[in-house]
A and B are shown apart, each in its own frame.
Chain A
Amino acid sequence: MIRLEDIHKSFDQNEVLKGISTVFETGKTNLIIGQSGSGKTVLLKCIIGLLEPDSGDILYDNRRFAEMGQKERTNLRSELGMLFQGSALFDSLTVEENVLFPLRMFSELNNKDKVKRARYCLDRVGLKDIYSQFPSEISGGMQKRAAIARAISLNPKYLFCDEPNSGLDPLTSIKIDELIMDITKEYKMTTIINTHDMNSVVTMGEKIIFIYQGDKEWEGCKEDLFYAKNEKLNEFVFASKFFQKNTENAFKE
């Protein structure tokens, strides 16, 4: 469980996050949704510590980030896995070496077991037989899978995904979404996902927070999403004609 307490973040005069508090639950896929530029990526970067919030605190299973020492923070890092918007695979390393990288850096396993673990992770995300290919030689969807494999190689407790299906076709997107959901359940992770893709929202939104211009406008689950009495949320949700027509019977069956 990750708890946010009143997170503020500004860049010079530009106040990007205006006090966000919420709870992300364990074993669930938690979504952060909102328009482009609403501050989703900044919020995610604050949670994982790539950016320092100006004020507010983050609790990882009741451990306060602000109170942690350098050593505890480094330890915490080994519990985090992150899937970047552009996959962020190391392009000088092969797919297998990419997944091996965190293991080589931090794992106490012997070499053989590290390779075994890396291959297990790659198999888990459905990537067989491309161990020795370079990231530039595989498709965007495969890169996402490889990045997921790398993110889970150290058995993280917390998984973060920044727009996991940007740049992917709808079918591949759904597969990636399902993979993330399955992995979340399988390893009981606290997963936080940034997205503005409504398809992902209705498949994965076990817990949703809606960000509007740096404020949390709404929170709930996908079942409530279409009945919410919030103008800004409605505008966001019903921007797509498809959802205007289909919401009536979306959750009826």
Chain B
Amino acid sequence: MNLLEHVGRYSILMYQTFSLPQKWKLFFKQTVKEVEKLGANSLPITFIISLFMGAVMTMQTQMNIENPLLPSYTVGLVTRDTLLLEFCSSILCLILAGKVGSNIASEIGTMRISEQIDAMDIMGVNSANYIILPKITGFVLFIPLLVIWSMFCGLIGGYFISLMTDLITPATYIYGIQYWFIPWYVYYSLIKSVIFAFIIASVSSYYGYYAYGGALDVGKASTNAVVNSSILILMLNVILTKILLS
């Protein structure tokens, strides 16, 4: 299938997905489930990754700017801005594309090949709407929390380094991460992450929904979902950065 066909089918699927739920009560119930499954369950991995990345960033920044002309609080400042600008939105979403994307694609793919989606269609249920909309809604709603959580954990990671090594003193680090703080960077990150979350959830749903064949094909769908949503995130990141930061 060529790119144009994919875009066409994706658009049709999104059109079906974004209609009013047939039963609001069921929709809310499903959305809460998805918030837990896709969002809340990603808190631990976000914690671990952000903590360690924050720590490493602090160390590397310190080692790379051993320049007497630069004040020592630069370390905190650079770490903070790297976290806010790139890590907690783009990189975090790339990692979540692996976790959440494969989860969504394999779940929907399994429903497809075991005819559960057909069963819904037969009943007259809008299967795309029933299955996909709560996933997109749940994940997009929760991603800002994950981003903020990731920022917090990253900064804590750097703080641990300042405590445990003599690269930088805690006081300087704390001063650095507060110095010349630009709130827009946080909003910028949040806006990007919401868009990325939509990409992850919708593209993965697309690959799962149109899976066909057997268990092997569900695996393929899930790989495709992760690879393609990652590529899309990387490309969109360039565009969004251009639009939002210049």
CA of A106 to CA of B126, assembled, Å: 12
CA of A48 to CA of B124, assembled, Å: 11
Q: Please, which residue of chain A has its CB at the minimum distance from the CB of B115?
A: A88
The answer to whether B123 and A48 have CB atoms under 8 Å apart is: no
Q: Please, which residue of chain B has its CB at the minimum distance from the CB of A147?
A: B119
List of B residues within 8 angstroms of A85 by Cβ: 115
The answer to whether A50 and B123 have CB atoms under 8 Å apart is: no
A interface majority secondary structure: mixed
The answer to whether B116 and A105 have CB atoms under 8 Å apart is: no
Contact of A80 among B26, B110, B122, B125 (CB under 8 A): B122
The answer to whether A88 and B26 have CB atoms under 8 Å apart is: no
CA of A91 to CA of B22, assembled, Å: 21
Q: Is A82 an interface residue (CB 8 A)?
A: yes
- Interface set, chain B 88-124, CB cutoff 8 A to A: 110-111, 114-116, 118-119, 121-124
Contact with B along A65-99 (1 / 0, CB 8 A): 00000000010011010101110111100000000
A-B Cβ contacts below 8 A, count: 45
List of A residues within 8 angstroms of B125 by Cβ: 105
The answer to whether B121 and A50 have CB atoms under 8 Å apart is: yes
Contact of B22 among A84, A88, A89, A105 (CB under 8 A): A105
Q: Is A104 an interface residue (CB 8 A)?
A: yes
List of B residues within 8 angstroms of A90 by Cβ: 111, 116, 119
Q: Smallest CB–CB gap between A167 and chain B, Å?
A: 13
CA of A50 to CA of B120, assembled, Å: 11
The answer to whether A77 and B124 have CB atoms under 8 Å apart is: yes
The answer to whether A104 and B26 have CB atoms under 8 Å apart is: yes
Q: Smallest CB–CB gap between A11 and chain B, Å?
A: 12
List of A residues within 8 angstroms of B114 by Cβ: 86, 88, 91
List of A residues within 8 angstroms of B111 by Cβ: 90
Q: Is A56 an interface residue (CB 8 A)?
A: no
List of A residues within 8 angstroms of B26 by Cβ: 104-105
The answer to whether A78 and B115 have CB atoms under 8 Å apart is: no
CA of A82 to CA of B122, assembled, Å: 7
List of B residues within 8 angstroms of A88 by Cβ: 114-116, 118-119
CA of A89 to CA of B116, assembled, Å: 6
CA of A86 to CA of B214, assembled, Å: 13
Q: Is A19 an interface residue (CB 8 A)?
A: no
List of B residues within 8 angstroms of A80 by Cβ: 122-123
A-B pairs with beta carbons under 8 Å apart, 6 shown: A82-B122, A88-B114, A88-B118, A88-B119, A90-B111, A105-B26
Q: Apart from A88-B114, A88-B115, A88-B116, what 17 extra A-B contacts exist at CB < 8 Å?
A: A48-B122, A50-B121, A80-B122, A82-B119, A86-B114, A86-B115, A88-B118, A89-B116, A90-B111, A90-B119, A91-B114, A91-B116, A102-B123, A104-B26, A105-B26, A105-B125, A106-B123
